[in-house]
């Protein structure tokens, strides 16, 4: 922990705490210079809590993520045992979720806690952040997707005008139709337009998948810009954690690499801030303004974070390396990293499991990942931790044999799921039409990673749009 001299949470201190923590990890956890002379670089992100005291505020870093990989759809696991999104921002969020669940577990074991407090809501035990606790997120560069589109276009125009023209005019295929995206950020969407990665520079405000090489297998994973914008409405805890904690919103986002961004395409800090605000705040704010009367309750509402720029440098940032050593060949490492406070950092490969020699173990298990290869922030592990909490806090006990999807569709997560469904279906929502394929295929696993029958799943869990919370509560008792 780090004591601060004043109650003001300086964004530079948040950035420094994340960067210094990351640089303190073993050499195997950070980028290196390869034997062929190629220097590795990586995006970095971290989540930090702060709380006020009578003397000075206190900061605690709870997670760090580093990486820029994503698992293609054809390589996703139906057992919930891999991490699909290996971008730094999302890894740090998943690390934060794990820390929150572990902190709740410590509370249940009788430990005093400075960050969370237990409440009773509708007869159920839950946890929330204590009054005065804030959540800060540091990101070493612009998030992929809408927030970085203008910068990438400007940079491409400088480096390769012909490619810039091609990218700007590149057709963006629609998942459901060929109609174009709405002309204004608050215009109704007549159809769903999904831009792949960096295609269509001239189109702002559209939802995008993670970027990747043109010859790489496609992914349906949402860009970091779109996920971060959605978090301002839904919170960072996600659906499963919403069954045990109240919504948790980011108070501030601290974006780094400012000098590098200015030197490599942007005209100045003002434009950087405007683009961040447009992509991460305004899209969600416009959605909230249009939909707040239709959302089911006041638990979920728009909580815009303060956007801060920092000049704290990160030695493994792409723009810093390009600026200081323009002739140096650079590349992203094959290893990504996630760290949860009070634990050891995990090294993950591009396929979403822990780094190591697991080929024989996987073959012996019929293609299934052994437990020693499974990350502590994958869906299966976070699901198991959540079920353990629910089993300890519900008087009648809790069915630990249920599937990941059945918990998400249960009355315990009803408010979150109904809010998310409105955001995905309402024509005034910036997320209108977004679906990630056949969700049942990827969510029908239990806490052991075993896959349940979809027919059984359908018979025990109905859509959030067709059943009221009372009906769900009565059915599941």
Per-residue model confidence as pLDDT tens digits over 272-283: 899 999 999 999
Q: Which of 150-154, 248-252, 353-357, 458-462 has the lowest mean pLDDT?
A: 458-462
In a domain, 444, yes or no: no
Q: Which of 101-105, 177-181, 310-314 has the lowest mean pLDDT?
A: 177-181
In a domain, 373, yes or no: yes
Residue 73 has a pLDDT of 87
**Into how many domains does the chain fold?**
2
Q: Which residues of 435-457 are buried (b: 16+ CB within 10 A; e: fewer)?
A: eeeeeeebbbbbbebebbeeeeb
Residue 224 CB contacts under 8 Å (≥ 6 apart), including other chains: 87, 89, 90, 143, 144, 145, 147, 210
- Residue 73 CB: number of other CB atoms within 10 A? 16
- Number of H-type helices and E-type strands within the chain: 17, 16
- Flag whether pLDDT at 131 surpasses 50: yes
In a domain, 452, yes or no: no
CA distances to 205, 281, 287, 304 from 278, rounded to whole Å, are 8, 6, 12, 11
Based on the fold, state whether residues 160 and 119 are members of the same structural domain.
no
Residue that terminates a domain, selected from 385, 400, 415: 400
- Where does the pLDDT of residue 33 fall: very low under 50, low under 70, confident under 90, or very high at 90 and above? very high
- Where does the pLDDT of residue 247 fall: very low under 50, low under 70, confident under 90, or very high at 90 and above? very high
- Where does the pLDDT of residue 191 fall: very low under 50, low under 70, confident under 90, or very high at 90 and above? very low
Residue 340 has a pLDDT of 98
How does pLDDT run across 407-451, given as a tens digit for each residue?
999 989 999 999 999 999 999 999 987 876 667 788 999 999 998
Residue 347 has a pLDDT of 97
Mean pLDDT confidence for 55-62: 91
Based on the fold, state whether residues 279 and 369 are members of the same structural domain.
yes
Based on the fold, state whether residues 161 and 265 are members of the same structural domain.
no
Mean pLDDT confidence for 19-40: 96
Residue 396 has a pLDDT of 63
Residue 454 has a pLDDT of 47
Based on the fold, state whether residues 224 and 351 are members of the same structural domain.
yes
Residue 144 has a pLDDT of 93
Distance from C-alpha of 13 to C-alpha of 224, rounded to nearest angstrom: 23
In a domain, 408, yes or no: no
Based on the fold, state whether residues 326 and 197 are members of the same structural domain.
no
In a domain, 362, yes or no: yes
Helical ranges in 67-208 per DSSP H: 88-108, 149-159, 161-169
Beta strands 336-340 and 346-348 are: antiparallel
Residue 183 has a pLDDT of 39
Based on the fold, state whether residues 172 and 54 are members of the same structural domain.
no
- Flag whether pLDDT at 351 surpasses 50: yes
Based on the fold, state whether residues 270 and 121 are members of the same structural domain.
yes
Residue 40 has a pLDDT of 96
Based on the fold, state whether residues 192 and 332 are members of the same structural domain.
no
Based on the fold, state whether residues 105 and 241 are members of the same structural domain.
yes
Residue that terminates a domain, selected from 208, 230, 247: 208
Mean pLDDT confidence for 167-178: 43
The top-scoring range by mean pLDDT among 79-93, 256-270, 454-468 is: 79-93
Mean pLDDT confidence for 57-79: 94
Mean pLDDT confidence for 127-144: 96
Q: Which percentage of the chain shows pLDDT scores above 90?
A: 56
Q: Which residues of 403-431 are buried (b: 16+ CB within 10 A; e: fewer)?
A: bbbbbbbbbbbbbbbbbbebbbebebbbb
Query: What average pLDDT is seen over the chain?
Result: 83
Residue 275 has a pLDDT of 93
Residue 2 has a pLDDT of 52
Based on the fold, state whether residues 171 and 250 are members of the same structural domain.
no
Q: Which of 62-66, 204-208, 335-339 has the lowest mean pLDDT?
A: 204-208
Residue that terminates a domain, selected from 342, 368, 400: 400
- Where does the pLDDT of residue 215 fall: very low under 50, low under 70, confident under 90, or very high at 90 and above? low
Distance from C-alpha of 251 to C-alpha of 129, rounded to nearest angstrom: 12
Based on the fold, state whether residues 311 and 336 are members of the same structural domain.
yes
Domain span including residue 130: 2-147+218-400
In a domain, 463, yes or no: no
Based on the fold, state whether residues 202 and 251 are members of the same structural domain.
no
How many degrees, rounded to 5, is the angle at CA 77 between CA 73 and CA 78?
A: 110
In a domain, 80, yes or no: yes
Residue 257 has a pLDDT of 82
- Flag whether pLDDT at 62 surpasses 90: yes
- pTM of the full predicted structure? 0.86
- Where does the pLDDT of residue 202 fall: very low under 50, low under 70, confident under 90, or very high at 90 and above? low
- Where does the pLDDT of residue 200 fall: very low under 50, low under 70, confident under 90, or very high at 90 and above? low
- Where does the pLDDT of residue 470 fall: very low under 50, low under 70, confident under 90, or very high at 90 and above? very low
Mean pLDDT confidence for 55-63: 92
- Flag whether pLDDT at 333 surpasses 90: yes
Distance from C-alpha of 96 to C-alpha of 136, rounded to nearest angstrom: 11
DSSP string across 179-200? PPPPSSTTSPPSS-BEE-TT--
- Flag whether pLDDT at 72 surpasses 50: yes
CB contact at 8 A, 193 and 180: yes
In a domain, 96, yes or no: yes
Q: Which of 66-75, 133-142, 254-263 has the lowest mean pLDDT?
A: 254-263
- Residue 326 CB: number of other CB atoms within 10 A? 7
């Amino acid at each position: 922990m780090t004591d601060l001299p004043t109650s003001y949470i300086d964004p530079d201190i948040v950035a420094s705490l994340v960067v210094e923590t990351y640089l303190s990890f073993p050499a195997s956890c950070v980028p290196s210079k390869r034997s062929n002379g190629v220097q590795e670089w990586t995006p970095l992100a971290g989540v930090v809590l702060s709380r006020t005291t009578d003397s000075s505020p206190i900061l605690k870093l709870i997670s760090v993520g580093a990486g820029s990989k994503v698992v293609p759809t054809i390589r996703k696991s139906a057992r919930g045992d891999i991490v699909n999104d290996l971008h730094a921002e999302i890894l740090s969020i998943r690390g934060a979720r794990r820390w929150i669940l572990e902190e709740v577990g410590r509370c249940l074991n009788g430990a005093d806690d400075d960050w969370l407090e237990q409440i009773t809501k509708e007869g159920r035990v839950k946890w929330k952040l204590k009054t005065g606790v804030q959540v800060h997120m540091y990101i070493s560069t612009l998030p992929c997707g809408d927030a970085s589109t203008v910068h990438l276009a400007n940079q491409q125009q400088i480096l390769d005008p012909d490619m810039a023209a091609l990218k700007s005019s590149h057709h963006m295929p629609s998942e459901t139709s060929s109609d174009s995206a709405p002309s204004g950020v608050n215009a109704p969407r007549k159809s769903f337009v999904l831009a792949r990665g960096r295609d269509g520079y001239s189109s702002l405000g559209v939802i995008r998948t993670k970027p990747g090489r043109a010859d790489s297998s496609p992914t349906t994973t949402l860009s970091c810009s779109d996920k971060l914008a959605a978090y301002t409405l839904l919170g960072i805890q996600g659906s499963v954690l919403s069954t045990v904690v109240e919504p948790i919103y980011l108070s501030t986002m601290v974006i780094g690499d400012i000098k590098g961004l200015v030197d490599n395409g942007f005209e100045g800090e003002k434009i950087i801030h405007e683009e961040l605000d447009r992509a991460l705040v305004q899209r969600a704010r416009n959605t909230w303004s249009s939909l707040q009367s239709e959302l089911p309750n006041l638990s979920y509402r728009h909580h815009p974070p303060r956007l801060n720029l920092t000049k704290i440098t990160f030695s493994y940032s792409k723009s810093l390396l390009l600026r200081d050593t323009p002739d140096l060949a650079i590349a992203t490492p094959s290893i990504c990293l996630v760290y949860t406070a009070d634990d050891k950092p995990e090294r993950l490969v591009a396929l979403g499991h822990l780094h190591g020699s697991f080929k024989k173990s996987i073959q012996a298990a019929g293609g299934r990942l052994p437990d020693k290869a499974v990350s502590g922030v994958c869906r299966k592990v976070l699901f198991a931790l959540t079920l353990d909490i629910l089993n300890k806090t519900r008087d009648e006990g809790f069915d630990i044999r249920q599937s990941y999807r059945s918990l998400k569709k249960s009355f315990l997560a009803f408010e979150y799921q109904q809010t998310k469904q409105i955001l995905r279906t309402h024509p005034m929502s910036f997320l209108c039409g977004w679906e990630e394929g056949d969700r049942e295929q990827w969510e029908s696993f239990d806490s052991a990673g075993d896959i349940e029958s979809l027919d059984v799943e359908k018979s025990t869990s109905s859509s959030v749009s067709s059943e009221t919370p009372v009906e769900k509560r009565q059915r599941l008792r």
